[in-house]
Amino acid sequence: MSTRLYSHSVFLEHLTPPGHPERPDRLRVIERVLEDERFSWLDRREAPEGDPATILYAHPESHLEAVRESIPVEGLIRLDEDTTVSPKSYEAAIHAVGAANAAVSDVFEGRASNVFVAARPPGHHAERTRPMGFCLFNNAAIAARHAQKAFGAERVAIVDWDVHHGNGTQDIFWTDSSVLYCSTHQMPLYPGTGEKSEVGAGNIVNAPLSAGDGSQQFREAMETRVFAAVDNFAPDLIIISAGFDAHHRDPLAEINLTENDFDWATGKLMELAGKHANNRLVSLLEGGYDLQGLAFSVAAHVARMIRG
């Protein structure tokens, strides 16, 4: 089976203020790099519109309505210091949810071995009742619940290698042992969560890195804490919260990874998906704010997903 790619032009219409790091150009560089001949095998699909009812898998109705009601007719509205919405933001967010859920359906129903979703806004900072950190709805959490509700998945593992801790995903699954959440991230750094001592119901595994850490420290954290936890958990599905802002070029953090590290981590998670989950692996774009670093990293990530 092939690797599937979801994206949509509406993701470019979620607008942020001038100079904001989470900008439409992020998807434009991903589109360009994936036009290379080596990605000719990608099964490219338009992200479908999501069912708003699935957002309630991870958020209360009050959160959904608050986001809907915040959308301006024109211009930009700030929800907090970092998070902005524009007239097309809800439409973009609902297609991001739709793509994440479609990706899960694809791997369970045999239409793809693995799927990469190139969407924005991202999701992993969205807590159960609060949009934050550029995020409106928690795409990874909704997708994990979709796997459980639609396909009877008993255990879903979410591996988050964004350089910022996914406080939202941790918040949503804090007491739910059917979902394993593992994260490598820089500490101290926004949003201030992600200590090793934060373990939830025994299903939260944080592997914080320090400013200046690079490949050696990242790979050691992944091998000893993250991969070991995923292997022990034996998930029916692996979801990657694939942020690429731990790349050494990224302006928002101080971790010194290269695209080779993301290639390596992707391969290791594919091995675990093959061992436990019938190869079912879904990757959802999160951060990554240096355009060259993002393009190189996504290319390495998706190339590894294609070749296995």
- Residue 35: give its domain's CATH number: 3.40.800.20
Residue-wise pLDDT for 178-214, tens only, equals 999 999 999 999 999 999 999 999 999 999 999 999 9
Using alpha carbons, select from 129, 146, 142, 21 the residue that is nearest to residue 67.
129
Query: What's the CA gap between 67 and 127, in Å, rounded?
Result: 13
Domain count within the chain: 1
Peptide bond into 121 cis (omega under 30): yes
pLDDT band for position 135 (cuts 50, 70, 90): very high
Query: What's the CA gap between 121 and 96, in Å, rounded?
Result: 7
The pTM score is 0.98
Q: What angle do CA 52, 58, 59 make, to 5 degrees?
A: 70
pLDDT exceeds cutoff 80 at 29? yes
Residue-wise pLDDT for 214-259, tens only, equals 999 999 999 999 999 999 999 999 999 999 999 999 999 999 999 9
Lateral strand order in the sheet of 179-186 = 43-46, 3-7, 114-117, 281-285, 237-242, 156-160, 179-186, 204-209
For residues 292-307, give the mean pLDDT. 98
Q: What is the pLDDT of residue 82?
A: 95
Structural domain that includes position 75: 3-307
For residues 30-53, give the mean pLDDT. 97
Query: What's the CA gap between 246 and 249, in Å, rounded?
Result: 8
Q: 84 with 20: CB under 8 angstroms?
A: yes
Query: What's the CA gap between 182 and 160, in Å, rounded?
Result: 6
pLDDT band for position 80 (cuts 50, 70, 90): very high
Q: What is the pLDDT of residue 308?
A: 81
pLDDT exceeds cutoff 80 at 1? no
Query: What's the CA gap between 126 and 136, in Å, rounded?
Result: 6
Q: What is the pLDDT of residue 253?
A: 98
- H helix runs in the chain, sequence order: 25-33, 52-55, 61-70, 89-109, 139-151, 167-172, 215-221, 228-233, 259-276, 291-307
Residues designated as active site: 125
Greatest extent of the chain over all pairs of C-alpha atoms, in Å: 50
Provide the percentage of residues in the chain whose pLDDT is more than 90.
99
Query: What's the CA gap between 17 and 13, in Å, rounded?
Result: 12
